[in-house]
Amino acid sequence: MRVVLVHPAGSNWVPGKRDITATANRMAPLGLLSIAAHLEGQGHDVFVHDCLGPKAPPDIDSNISAILARNPDLIGISATTSGFLDGYEIASRIKSIRPQVMTIFGGVHISAMGATLLDQFGDIDFLCIGEGEITISELAAGRDPRLINGLVWKDGDKPVKNPARAQIPDLDSLPFPAYQKLAGFPKGYNLPLFSYIMTPGATMITSRGCLYQCSYCDRSVFKHGFRYNSAEYVYEHMRYLKTDFGVRHINIYDDLFTTNRERISGLCEKLISMPLAMQFNCAVRVGHVDDELLKMLKAAGCLQVSLGIETGDPSLIKVHKSGVTLQKVEETVRLIQAHGLRAKGLFMMGLPGDTEESIRRTSDFVMSLDLDDMNMSKFTPFPGAPVWPTIKEQGSFDNDWRKMNCLNFVFVPKGVASRETLDHLYNQHVKRFYSGRAWRTKFRSRLWEHRKSLIYMLRHLSTFLEARRNFEPDLCEKTI
């Protein structure tokens, strides 16, 4: 069967503004690439069309033409909440031209919303709930849809939900993602600026699931268990990226990369004894690091460690980040930096329970940590997250899927006067951090290390200036 897997562009910026997010950070669609590799191993002709890719056409008509040019029998679309409607328009337009083409949607939004989507969106033939590799391969092989676990299908006009798909027990049984399906990869798939020294860069995910339950996190696809690739598999995956694509820096986007100590020890030993001349970034959970672990990561080539912190308000962190305290955050950041690793803090603004005072407290806490980098996302409630059922009781919520991308404030907690107030506080905080003396001192000391990021920024200066203008009218304000 000829299969085209589509990553829709969605709405990834601010309504009414040109989407420029991919210029600063364009990540390969790893889920689709894993499915593509599995399908290809089953003998299917597989193509990946990334509407956010560096060589993708800018308009939907041209993207549809490019997809149809592959003469697909089956189109699989992976959709986030903000990308779903864009993906559906692609599917609907293709159906109007070639009604015989089968369409299947998967991804976190589909797993969270479930069968109700088939009632509302008639041009979708199937939904894939949970992991997609085996479910889609069985559909592509022509198996009766009634017998495919993890599939939602239509019996006439009635959606039918099959039994759940069992999780893949051995992730090492899956082939490496089919990076070669992306035109020109890794060129154009750039990591966040100043998060790397060596280029080109790529991304990896080496585990699935999470043992924790934060209030804002949707676990609809991989659930609450924790499965992982072995140290040997991860090392060979890294070596594959280096040998076949020349990759020299990898961002590992696991939630719990270091949870299995034996695995990380084995991986670090391999990277130390058989170095690949690569660096990598990863994430650790606050409070779950020690001197030995950080020493291993540093020796293995780790450059930067990220920490999910979310808030600097002690009462809110108990609600949204169980098991984490501000004291543990401070201790973990200091320990990371003591081993010569960079510490990046990940935060959210506008959480349920946030007030203008708690937001200012968070900003003060961020500044006190002396972080090497920081990311402040705009809290977005997603279907499937624990906070979802009560979100309307905790503030005002604009349930516009296109805006639900952590780049727009769609939720305003009761303790904040308005969305405009949130935007104002957000802009002030970002300005405060990046104009602060501590961050600027570190940045100046690393100018030579980051020359490739600076060159990239200069080449796209007009785009970055356009992004900067989105922070007006707060550009001149330095305090919060």
Three-state DSSP string of 396-459: EECCCHHHCCCCCCCEEECECCCHHHHHHHHHHHHHHHHHCHHHHHHHHHCCCCCHHHHHHHHH
Is-same-fold flag (2-161; 191-469)?
no
What local confidence, expressed as pLDDT, does residue 477 receive?
A: 43
Q: How confident is the model at residue 215 (pLDDT cuts 50, 70, 90)?
A: confident
What local confidence, expressed as pLDDT, does residue 473 receive?
A: 47
Q: How confident is the model at residue 159 (pLDDT cuts 50, 70, 90)?
A: very high
Q: How confident is the model at residue 213 (pLDDT cuts 50, 70, 90)?
A: confident
What local confidence, expressed as pLDDT, does residue 14 receive?
A: 64
- Checking if the pLDDT of 480 tops 90, the result is no
- Checking if the pLDDT of 186 tops 50, the result is yes
What local confidence, expressed as pLDDT, does residue 476 receive?
A: 40
Q: Are strands 158-161 and 151-155 parallel, antiparallel or unpaired?
A: antiparallel
**Once rounded to an integer, what is the mean pLDDT over residues 443-456?**
94
Q: Are 353 and 359 in contact (CB under 8 A)?
A: no
- Checking if the pLDDT of 478 tops 50, the result is no
**Once rounded to an integer, what is the mean pLDDT over residues 237-242?**
98
- As a whole number of angstroms, the distance between CA 127 and CA 120 comes to 13
What local confidence, expressed as pLDDT, does residue 27 receive?
A: 93
Q: Range with the lowest mean pLDDT among 134-148, 246-260, 465-479?
A: 465-479
Mean pLDDT of the chain: 92
- Checking if the pLDDT of 12 tops 90, the result is no
- As a whole number of angstroms, the distance between CA 477 and CA 427 comes to 9
- pLDDT tens per residue, range 93-146: 999 999 999 999 999 999 999 999 999 999 999 999 999 999 999 999 999 999
- pLDDT tens per residue, range 276-324: 999 999 999 998 899 999 999 999 999 999 999 999 999 999 999 888 9
Q: Where are the domains of the chain?
A: 2-161, 191-469
- The CATH superfamily of 191-469 is tm_1862 like domain (3.80.30.20)
Sign of the alpha-carbon dihedral angle for 344, 220, 9, 247 = positive
In this prediction, what percent of the chain has a pLDDT beyond 70? 94
- As a whole number of angstroms, the distance between CA 73 and CA 68 comes to 10
| Angle formed at CA 97 by CA 95 and CA 102, multiple of 5 degrees | 35
- Checking if the pLDDT of 466 tops 80, the result is no
What local confidence, expressed as pLDDT, does residue 325 receive?
A: 94
In this prediction, what percent of the chain has a pLDDT beyond 90? 83
Q: Which top CATH class is 2-161?
A: alpha beta
Q: Are strands 151-155 and 126-128 parallel, antiparallel or unpaired?
A: antiparallel
